[in-house]
Structure 1
Amino acid sequence: MPDRRQATTLMSTATTTNLTMPTTPPGGSGVKKTAGTYYTGLCGKMCNSCPCANCSKRYVTSILCSLGFMISFGIRCNTGVATGYFRSLYNDSELDSHPVSMGPYQDHFLKYKFANVTRNVERDLQWSPSVVGAVESSFFWGYLVTQIPGGIIANKLPATKIFGLAIFTSSFLNNCSCRPPVTEADFTATPQGCTYPACHGIWRYWAPPLERSRLATLAFCGSYAGAVLGLFLSGLLSDWLGWPAPFYFYGVVGILWFSVWWFNTYERPALHPGITEEERVYIESSIGENTNSNVISKSMNIPWRSFFTSMPVYAIVVANFARSWSFYLLITEQTKYFRDVFNYDMTKRHLFGSTAHLVMAVIVPLGGQLADRLRKKLLTTTVCAQDFSTA
């Protein structure tokens, strides 16, 4: 009997302890420590009420990244599609008169009052190939100059915030569609140069080594899906509402996406108020306990000399240049090919032009899954990267 009473007392004490357990974990890391135990602050309440409260936060971050890239690449398609719709209004003055002469009886007929009639006629802008090239390349000049600065900024500041602000700024400037095309493309491109460096900075803290390819490709496949929707939707909206419509559409959607991104992503797992303890420990232990140490210190000097004298760096540059060349060539020139060779209308040529990007949007995340499996069971990271790059 004493043993039974003692056991009952211990169970009662344990139950009381569980009921009075503080919701804030002693580590102060702002995480969900066990099932059903959350932070009670504003951010914690938002995370607890979110439909994705029990979802993997690293995959939620990856999906939101993918949506951000969809908007970013949709914006890139706007100018290329809109150039097919640019028209110039010009005044055509002509003399409105009676074409038949009445001879000697002219004075006996009602005399017509001659008048200059002005009418507006739409025609294609007479742009030379050099002007067309300047319009189409203006985006890439602005995009090019912010790549390296974007990487430096993403290393100094939270990469999640840099990524979100880059999409927001580009979307806001995209609403200024009444600007000259070169100026508008330059303005929207400049902040977008920070997106890829910032996305790599996000996975520095969030991607376990054996899930890195999977998470990164899931995020980056948004660029191909964005080209699919960008080409098709821009052509459709331009047909229905006029060429400025896609600019305003992507501008508004980008701002709405930013409001979701800002309150649902954090620089590292330890700062996320809705992450489970299990996921946080898994990510940090996979990456290493020194994620907050000097291994990736924000104050470390950048080894520029080593970069510019490293052959692997140049190999990566050449490989990425070749990929970007073929990708952007399809975005800028494919619709013109369907117009000039097959004489397709605007909607049809953008529908067919998006097919290649649709295939890539499906293959890229599948390739990431395959790469992670091969690295886990068969190949090293270097061999896997070489095989997939040459493929």
Structure 2
Amino acid sequence: MMHRLFRLSAFWSSMNSAVEHQNEEHTPLLQKQAGKHSVPPKCCSVRSNLAFMMFLGFAVVYGLRVNLSVAMVAMVNATNGQPTSNGSEEKECPAPSGPSNTSHQNPDQPDGVPQYSWDPETQGMLLGAFFFGYLFTQIPGGYLSGRFGGSIFLGGGVLGTAVLTLLTPLAAQLGPSWLFALRALEGFGEGVTFPAQMAMWACWAPPLERARLTTFSGAGSNFGAFVALPLTGFICNSLGWPAVFYCFGGAGCLWAVLWFILVSDEPRTHRRISDQEKDYIINSIGSEGGSHGWSVPLLPMLLSVPLWAIIITQMCANWSYYTLLTSLPTYMDTVLHFDLRQNSFLSALPYLGAWLFSILSGVLADSLLEREILSITTVRKIFTLVGLLLPAGFLFAVGFTGCSSTLAVTFLTVSTTIGGISAAGVFMNQIDIAPRYAGMLLGITNTFGTIPGVLAPIAVGHLAKNRSLVGWRNVFCLSAGVSAIGALVFTLFGSGRIQRWAVREHGTDADREH
């Protein structure tokens, strides 16, 4: 039986490689169009500057997204207390004795800074409000970005979210319902940013630079989380929690001004791009880049196996991501008993490694394609498999570290760091299979990918409700298992070739062979 499965797997791999070679040999990427046109320097080029501006923008975006998670500790007074473990103390790690054990205490706020008596249910509602708005604008944002260009939607999304963030102290003073509505509107504004990014790279990223440009710009999200978490704690302790929202909101407004001055939708309309770089980008991308019309092939998209492979895999990958993003500070606090400053720094540490590895993965992926060592499909599958399966193993190990804070922090950091490798895999696969519709496809996949952001915290609350080691072990094992499933799905059903329904109607015969 195993021998037969091995032969079937080998046959599938050989057929897949043959099909990929047959289809990818007609793409601009493997035609080596860069060899026909002089390649302008990457350093200080307009496309590299665009990637840097996007990097800063997504750092701001994630700062605007996660600041409430830390600021909530300072916004809520200390009279609510913490629920006991209901007799499960023997399963918890012992807390350090002495005055240093301040993990459950609210930081002192300057005179005149209000604090609120919000119960845990209200706090959870406010922290989850962002995702309610975030769900609704992913697909419309991707569609409109692909039709009209992504710069106005990416810049407008950040600017709108930043302006609303400035109103957070006022909304909190008016009541939790007002703050909930404000956070939902912030999510509504941010929902268009990632689809708009992908729509812009469909016009700006030469195929041989696609992975490094896309992963570098998207890595701003991990960098933003790494900076925002400890910075928010520092500002809360030094200036009071309202200053957090004024600082982050002001930074977002400043970035938006620079964005609208420096950026355009495509190379043809950029005022400062050289003719050499413009011709290189346009000729490298070919006829499949640019914007799409009003109509989109919805039914072929719905029936596309590679698209569903992306959707399922991103949902599985985001389950562990959102589990750590929303619940890691709680684990650090209630199980490992780190104080507030240690908690904010250690919760942010994994995102530093993910930021570095995501950038390196993009460079490596492009290098493999440029040297024609592997096909696009193989590259995407390898980076997805490594970026999901290895982190799953380390997450599984976290559940068995017991009370060893050193091992737990090490495994969590290594898991998230290696997970950054998947940035050059499934998380940029939309632009491979349908460059014209990349923005809309990312909107679709991000909409499904946001569902774990709603469900994962609920699952954590159920599994770890007694704050026991066994409960948190189940949390980490569940996340590991879901990630492994995602790796398997993409390995079996993912693809890197342009789909038939994504080819322009007036394309050449070679294009239609895709």
Give, in angstroms, the shift of residue 230 of structure 1: 1.1
1:237 maps to which of 229, 235, 238: 235
Map 1:249-328 → 2, pairs under 5 A:
249-288=247-286, 290=287, 296-328=290-322
1:127 maps to which of 115, 119, 124: 119
The equivalent of 1:13 in structure 2 is none
Counterpart-to-counterpart distance in 1, 2:156 and 2:304: 32
Distance 1:243 1:75, change over 3 A: same
Q: Do structure 1's residue 198 and structure 2's residue 189 form an aligned pair? A: no
Deviations 1:3-39 (A, max 9, x none): xxxxxxxxxxxxxxxxxxxxxxxxxxxxxxxxxxxxx
Map 1:24-35 → 2, pairs under 5 A:
none
The equivalent of 2:366 in structure 1 is 372
Counterpart-to-counterpart distance in 2, 1:133 and 1:123: 17
Give, in angstroms, the shift of residue 276 of structure 1: 1.3
The residue type equivalent to 1:131 in the other structure is T
Map 1:71-90 → 2, pairs under 5 A:
71-88=60-77
The equivalent of 2:336 in structure 1 is 342
Asked if the contact 2:148–2:291 (Cα under 8 Å) also holds between the matched residues in 1, the reply is: no
Asked if the contact 2:223–2:352 (Cα under 8 Å) also holds between the matched residues in 1, the reply is: yes
- The structure that is strand-richer by fraction is 1
Counterpart-to-counterpart distance in 2, 1:345 and 1:353: 12
SS at match of 2:219: helix
Map 1:170-249 → 2, pairs under 5 A:
170-178=161-169, 179=171, 180=176, 181-249=179-247
Gaps of 5+ in 1: 1-53, 91-119
Q: TM-score, normalised by structure 1?
A: 0.74
1:331 maps to which of 325, 336, 341: 325
The equivalent of 1:98 in structure 2 is none
Give, in angstroms, the shift of residue 88 of structure 1: 4.7
2:134 maps to which of 134, 137, 143: 143
Q: Which has the larger radius of gyration?
A: 1
Give, in angstroms, the shift of residue 76 of structure 1: 0.9
Counterpart-to-counterpart distance in 1, 2:150 and 2:141: 10
Give, in angstroms, the shift of residue 89 of structure 1: 9.5
The CA RMSD measured in Å over matched residues stands at: 2.4
Count of residue pairs brought into register by the alignment: 306
Q: Do structure 1's residue 384 and structure 2's residue 376 form an aligned pair? A: no
Distance 1:296 1:62, change over 3 A: closer
Asked if the contact 1:224–1:358 (Cα under 8 Å) also holds between the matched residues in 2, the reply is: yes
The residue type equivalent to 2:124 in the other structure is G
The equivalent of 1:56 in structure 2 is 45
Give, in angstroms, the shift of residue 123 of structure 1: 8.2
Asked if the contact 1:227–1:331 (Cα under 8 Å) also holds between the matched residues in 2, the reply is: no
Give, in angstroms, the shift of residue 251 of structure 1: 0.4
The residue type equivalent to 2:332 in the other structure is F
Give, in angstroms, the shift of residue 244 of structure 1: 1.6
Asked if the contact 1:158–1:267 (Cα under 8 Å) also holds between the matched residues in 2, the reply is: yes
The residue type equivalent to 2:132 in the other structure is W
The residue type equivalent to 2:134 in the other structure is Y
Counterpart-to-counterpart distance in 1, 2:337 and 2:355: 27
Counterpart-to-counterpart distance in 2, 1:185 and 1:324: 21
Asked if the contact 1:79–1:185 (Cα under 8 Å) also holds between the matched residues in 2, the reply is: no
Give, in angstroms, the shift of residue 307 of structure 1: 1.8
Distance 1:281 1:296, change over 3 A: closer
Asked if the contact 2:74–2:115 (Cα under 8 Å) also holds between the matched residues in 1, the reply is: no
Give, in angstroms, the shift of residue 236 of structure 1: 0.8
Counterpart-to-counterpart distance in 1, 2:365 and 2:262: 28
The equivalent of 2:147 in structure 1 is 156
Distance 1:297 1:124, change over 3 A: closer
Asked if the contact 1:162–1:198 (Cα under 8 Å) also holds between the matched residues in 2, the reply is: yes
1:66 maps to which of 55, 80, 86: 55
Asked if the contact 1:77–1:234 (Cα under 8 Å) also holds between the matched residues in 2, the reply is: no
Give, in angstroms, the shift of residue 296 of structure 1: 4.8
Distance 1:89 1:132, change over 3 A: closer
Asked if the contact 1:172–1:255 (Cα under 8 Å) also holds between the matched residues in 2, the reply is: yes
Asked if the contact 1:58–1:207 (Cα under 8 Å) also holds between the matched residues in 2, the reply is: yes
Counterpart-to-counterpart distance in 1, 2:140 and 2:237: 38
Gaps of 5+ in 2: 1-42, 80-111, 387-514
Deviations 1:189-218 (A, max 9, x none): 111000110000111111001100010001
Percent identity reads 31
My pick for the range that moved more, 356-365 or 332-341, is 332-341
Asked if the contact 2:333–2:339 (Cα under 8 Å) also holds between the matched residues in 1, the reply is: yes
SS at match of 1:298: coil
Give, in angstroms, the shift of residue 320 of structure 1: 1.2
Asked if the contact 2:229–2:344 (Cα under 8 Å) also holds between the matched residues in 1, the reply is: yes
Deviations 1:47-87 (A, max 9, x none): xxxxxxx9200000000001000000011111111221123
My pick for the range that moved more, 273-282 or 177-186, is 177-186
Counterpart-to-counterpart distance in 1, 2:225 and 2:48: 22
The equivalent of 2:15 in structure 1 is none
Give, in angstroms, the shift of residue 341 of structure 1: 2.1
Counterpart-to-counterpart distance in 2, 1:296 and 1:279: 16
